Structure 1
Amino acid sequence: MQRIDHIVNLLKDYLLGDIDEQRTAEIERLFLEYPRLKEIIEELNSEEELQEALCTYEELYTDAFREREERVLNNILFQVKHRSSIWRTRLLWRRLAIYSSAAAIIVLALFASIIWRQRIVEPKTTEEMINAFTPGGNKASLTLSNGRQINLSDAYSGIVIDGQIGYQDGSSLFDEGSVAEDEMLTLSTPRGGQYQVTLSDGTKVWLNAESKLHYPYRFSKDIRTVELEGEAYFEVAHLKGSPFIVKTSKEKVEVLGTHFNVNSYQADINSTVALLEGKVKVSSGEDYATVLKPGQQSVMRKGKMEIQTINVDECVAWKNGEFMFNNETLENVMKKVARWYDLDIELSSNLKHVEIWGSVSRYDNFNTVLKLIKMTDDGIRFEVTGRRVRFVK
């Protein structure tokens, strides 16, 4: 067994690339002794192959096997004869060809056992999994009317339409003249993404995670219309006689020149328009319309609109790189957090209306958000499975 243990460690270091010249020569001699050993070692560099090798080890490596190694080949032949599965039969015959002696089988089985068991008994801790949930960043795609999609560079925070479509440093996305004047464009951000666009009239738009902005390459002279799905912050350029209109599935916002935030996700019950500067008219169909003043927010809920006085800093915190919660329900908080960190978050029913107060940077890891929640109620626990986080109490 001492030689086998040495060979197992040698193969393990070889696969990890941690091997010096002397041991390289040793492993080359081993590959000469077992010509196809190198091939099977490289095949074992996958979880499926490692698991299969481990199963073989557990089936074959018994006390009797250690005493009478010559019986191993007979055991393999016996398994081939009595397995009905074509796939399993092929696998065992392949192993029979590869493992030309009992010693080779022991070496590979032990090697697979060590590596595979390390992966099983040393899973990532919950803390390690949480720390792996990193914040979002500059991610977006631009889609043309013909369906052509361009993945935008994360090295930039936005694009600009100014005689051409390009990044903020002036580098162009298209050849000049390749985009028609009436071309309709769609800027889309995924979960965990954000991006900016400066439209042809000079209006600046910040797009939050999991959002879409539909807009023309060039606006007409009489009216400027865009469509929004999700959340965006607008700084509208004032053009006399050319109103700027933002359409969502739940309302229409008309402005002449102003700063405002629209939050209108399809999956959310509420749709809001928050005004920072200027004046906007918010309407829902032909039944209701209101003019907002700075510091006010319209809330569309189940077809009805109400007006609230708000802290505008909270409404645009996301645009400034922050999460800011002022006695906001945990259910609403987690919708925002899930979009930004690209997570599936589930809350037990008794936690949905727990109120959260505080602020954290959007560029902190998810663990910082968890600390904020625990400060609110230390009795809240969480369970992590993949990218799904479940909160219970």
Structure 2
Amino acid sequence: MNEIKDLLDRYFNGTCSEAEKQNVETWLETYNKEDNEWLAMNKAQQELWLNSLFTQIEVDIDRPGLLRKIPQRSPIRMGILLKIAATIILLLSIGFLFFKYQQATPTTAGPANQEIITGGNRAILTLANGQTIDLSHSKNGEIATQAGLTITKKTNGELIYETAGQKEISENTGQAITYNTISTPRGGKYQINLPDGTQVWLNAASSVRFPASFRNLPDRRVELSGEAYFEVTKDANKPFIVVTEKQETQVLGTHFNINSYQDEGQTKTTLLEGSIRVSDKANRNIILKPGQQSTLKAGNIDIRNVDENDAIAWKRGLFSFNDENLESIMRKISRWYDVDIHYQDTFSNTSFLGNISRSKNITSVLKILEKSGEVHFKIEGRRITVMR
């Protein structure tokens, strides 16, 4: 993999041999021959696309199920390595990173050399009695017992609710419902197994509130703020309901993502598997099928077909931009790196398409965006100024 990166570095630095240059350009032209997009791009656009290419390859190196499809041979000629890269991209249906722009204004300003680390497993658990546990620093193993359940933190940071014993459950029958809340700060994410076995992945600046036990309840109702991906355990007799500020989503057992950040001004629900019913505050109901996304905005619900992988890219460690405007991108960056964003100019006509790894530090991410020539950044502490 490093051989490919080294070759492309030499290609853009002008230090590769004529044979290597021809090899790279032939492959790139072949990959894009239908629309001849590579030849139509300038150097900055080509670098953006290649960065997206390698971001995806780096992420999927950790997914051996995909890479096992590619023969392992050593040593490998450069041409074969390039074909492997292309194969990975085609398997993942990756789009190259490019930009749409209007009247670019050149500037030489760039991000200050200040280190702002990437987000990670950070969350606070608030128990029914008000006790708070910082999951970022708590030890692995059992961390609390309540409502007949033990709460255990695994070595990978995952939080699991498990039955503590039949005796304890019967003793708690008839008691008032008690609730727990898991909340992630800006720069945090977390995975939790709810008392019914449902798995929840929380994105940054999000929270989920849920009963400490679903036993003796008519449904499994949880409250979400922010964004989360759910893999719901099936129970035909007890529907699972996710309540956000402006809608309810009801399922029996399925996989879906809800983005309900207040600063987005809309709620997006994306279905990956099964079937869900989305209801707004006016009790209007819609049924989603896999591959569909509902958007609730200004009292209206729209449905469209989407690539569901875009909606859960954050769960796979990626920023995914699908013709996304810069303001929306910067909100994602603000939440993940825990920074404040300030605008010196307007960017209503600037949008991006592609993937960037969330494991990169913020300086690297901003430099990638800067290569469009449309936007530049200044870092001052945890304040990012966005300018032309």
Match of 1:318 in 2: 314
Shift of 1:321: 0.9
Shift of 1:288: 1.4
TM-score by length of 2: 0.63
Match of 1:151 in 2: 134
Q: Distance in 1 between matches of 2:122 and 2:246?
A: 26
- Once the two structures are superposed, the pairs formed by residues 66-145 of structure 1 within 5 Å of their partners are 127-129=112-114, 132-145=115-128
Q: Distance in 2 between matches of 1:159 and 1:260?
A: 29
Q: Distance in 1 between matches of 2:224 and 2:199?
A: 14
- Give structure 1 stretches of 5+ with no counterpart: 1-124
- Give structure 2 stretches of 5+ with no counterpart: 1-109
Shift of 1:154: 5.4
- Once the two structures are superposed, the pairs formed by residues 242-391 of structure 1 within 5 Å of their partners are 242-375=238-371, 377-391=372-386
Q: 1:337 to 1:312 in 2, by over 3 A?
A: same
Q: 1:231 to 1:157 in 2, by over 3 A?
A: farther
Q: 1:279 to 1:237 in 2, by over 3 A?
A: same
Match of 1:107 in 2: none
Q: 1:172 to 1:371 in 2, by over 3 A?
A: closer
Q: Residue type of the partner of 1:164?
A: T
Q: Distance in 1 between matches of 2:269 and 2:141?
A: 23
Q: Residue type of the partner of 1:142?
A: L
Q: 1:188 aligns with which of 151, 164, 183?
A: 183
Q: 1:156 to 1:311 in 2, by over 3 A?
A: farther
Shift of 1:146: 2.8
Q: Distance in 1 between matches of 2:351 and 2:309?
A: 19
Shift of 1:157: 10
For the 8 Å contact 2:120–2:189, the answer to whether it is kept is: yes
SS where residue 164 of structure 1 aligns? strand
Match of 2:154 in 1: 168
For the 8 Å contact 2:250–2:277, the answer to whether it is kept is: yes
For the 8 Å contact 2:271–2:293, the answer to whether it is kept is: yes
For the 8 Å contact 2:161–2:194, the answer to whether it is kept is: no
Shift of 1:152: 0.7
Match of 1:225 in 2: 221
Q: Distance in 2 between matches of 1:267 and 1:158?
A: 36
Q: Distance in 1 between matches of 2:237 and 2:311?
A: 29
For the 8 Å contact 2:149–2:161, the answer to whether it is kept is: no
Q: Distance in 2 between matches of 1:209 and 1:298?
A: 21
Match of 1:209 in 2: 204
Q: 1:366 to 1:253 in 2, by over 3 A?
A: same
For the 8 Å contact 1:157–1:195, the answer to whether it is kept is: no
Q: 1:234 aligns with which of 210, 225, 230?
A: 230
SS where residue 234 of structure 2 aligns? coil
Q: Residue type of the partner of 2:113?
A: E
1:352-383 CA deviation, whole Å, 9 max, x = no partner?
A: 441111211111111221133123x2142222
Shift of 1:258: 0.4
1:33-88 CA deviation, whole Å, 9 max, x = no partner?
A: xxxxxxxxxxxxxxxxxxxxxxxxxxxxxxxxxxxxxxxxxxxxxxxxxxxxxxxx
Q: Residue type of the partner of 1:251?
A: Q
User: Relative CO higher for 1 or 2, CA cutoff 8 Å, sep ≥ 6?
Assistant: 2
Q: 1:173 to 1:233 in 2, by over 3 A?
A: closer
TM-score by length of 1: 0.62
Q: 1:158 to 1:349 in 2, by over 3 A?
A: farther
Q: 1:136 to 1:245 in 2, by over 3 A?
A: same
Q: 1:255 to 1:156 in 2, by over 3 A?
A: farther
Shift of 1:267: 2.3
SS where residue 368 of structure 1 aligns? helix
Shift of 1:260: 0.2
SS where residue 264 of structure 2 aligns? coil
Q: Distance in 1 between matches of 2:286 and 2:141?
A: 32
Q: 1:287 to 1:225 in 2, by over 3 A?
A: closer
Shift of 1:187: 0.2
Q: Distance in 1 between matches of 2:193 and 2:253?
A: 15
Q: Distance in 2 between matches of 1:158 and 1:352?
A: 49
For the 8 Å contact 1:262–1:273, the answer to whether it is kept is: yes
Match of 1:65 in 2: none
Shift of 1:127: 3.6
Q: How many residues end up aligned between the 2 structures?
A: 265
SS where residue 341 of structure 2 aligns? strand
For the 8 Å contact 2:124–2:132, the answer to whether it is kept is: yes
Task: Compare 350-359 and 296-305 and name the one that shifted more.
Answer: 350-359
Shift of 1:163: 3.9
For the 8 Å contact 1:283–1:289, the answer to whether it is kept is: yes
Shift of 1:286: 3.3
Q: 1:156 to 1:369 in 2, by over 3 A?
A: farther
Q: Residue type of the partner of 1:146?
A: N
What value does the CA root-mean-square deviation take over the aligned residues? 3.0
Shift of 1:171: 9.9
Higher helix share: 1
Match of 1:103 in 2: none
